[in-house]
Amino acid sequence: MEMKRIMAAGMVFCMGIQLFCACGKEQPDIEDKVYLGVAYYDQSDTFLNSLIACLKDEIQDYEEKGYETAMLIRGAGGSQRTQNDQVQELVDAGCNVLCVNLVDRANPSEIIDLARENDVPVIFFNREPVTEDLMQWDRLYYVGAFAEQSGTMQGELAVELIEADSGVDRNRDGKIQYVVLEGEAGHQDAIIRTENAVDTLKSNDIEVEKLSYGIANWNRAQAQNQMLQMISQHQNKIELVLANNDDMALGAVDAYEKLNYTESALPVFLGIDGTDVGLEAVRDLKLAGTVYNDKEGQASAMLKLSVALVTGDGMDKIGFEKERYIYLPYFKVTQSKAEELLKRKNP
């Protein structure tokens, strides 16, 4: 099924390229054809895969509205060098707009140069380049979310839980012993999420004690390993697990399940993203809550901006911040909201 869809998309794309080549300059409305090249940092990332699934839905909608569209997608397996080559390939294939989720957010220069030489606009997404890089050329944009907001909301969820249930402080010492599972070192979503979650606890007068942290690269299996180590170090002392995303929160749950912990001895787990597996875990009370990373909103903004960039129409209707940035808001999810969101997906 998936393969067929990819092949169908590929064929549409090839037809588009042929048209493009055959008609060349004589076809004035060529710019109505949206050939989207998508490059993302790693095919094994749960959130990014679901964001890209949303992009496929969006492009289909434009197709149904009568636009000629095509989308080519490349995952870089965590290598910036591979991604640079992939972007070259997308440009060579005739893509007229690029959506790039950088591997190394501090290293976009090669991609920017390439895009500029070929006059192909770039929408960076999810992994935010530094402002200086985004200002290198006026056809560079960013679509994402405010990392601060997700951290603050995760902290607020923790505060609400701690205030509602004195049992979270299992050893009753008046402090919450916590550990953190962090995404990648150097990633804005990791550092800022952690800082803001912890600051929110403190500013709400919750006394906290950090026992440990582990870097698990957004990954469930790595998080399980990190968590197993932290449990062996701190045993029953851990009362709260703050994970920078749902997959890592679930990896922490996996670790406790592997050790056959009973429910009453478990800490509180909080994630961020609201992926399908994350929402199911919140519904089933395995995670106490998560913060929804609005992939549908991000995909929709990316497509709208892509179409506007290619056709030159509709730019004035897009609500930019700092002229070239679009940020979608996060929102908090506990059990009832998770149920609602899951029902909306599978009515």
- DSSP character string of 17-35: HHHHHHHGGG-GGGGGEEE
Q: Count of alpha carbons within 13 Å of 294, Cβ hemisphere only?
A: 19
Residue 84 binding ligand GAL, by CB under 6 A = no
For residue 184, the one-letter residue type is E
| Residue 294 binds to ligand GAL (criterion: CB under 6 A) | no
The answer to whether residues 336 and 284 touch, using CB atoms and an 8 Å cutoff, is no
Helices and strands, counts by H and E, the chain: 12, 12
The entry of ligand GAL, Ca ion, none that residue 294 binds, CB within 5 to 8 Å by partner kind? none
Residue 127 or 283 with smaller CB distance to ligand GAL: 127
Label the pairing between strands 290-292 and 268-270.
unpaired
Nearer to Ca ion, 177 or 194 (CB): 177
- Determine the 3-state secondary structure of 233 from DSSP: helix
Residue with Cβ nearer ligand GAL (126 or 200): 126
Binding mask 307-326 for Ca ion (x = CB under 5 A): --------------------
321 forms beta bridges with: 325
Find the part of the chain contacting Ca ion (CB under 5 A) among 52-60, 100-108, 149-157, 175-183.
175-183
Closest C-alpha among 206, 278, 276 to residue 244: 278
Residue 218 engages ligand GAL in binding (rule: CB under 6 A): yes
Q: By CB under 5 A, tell whether 173 contacts Ca ion.
A: yes
Closer to ligand GAL by CB, 239 or 273: give it.
Answer: 273
Q: Print the binding letters for residues 110-129 with ligand GAL: x by CB under 6 A, - otherwise.
A: ----------------xx--
From the list 41-49, 198-206, 232-240, 307-315, the region that binds ligand GAL by CB under 6 A is: 41-49
Is 47 a residue that touches ligand GAL (CB under 6 A)?
yes
Torsion sign (Cα): 218, 221, 222, 228: positive
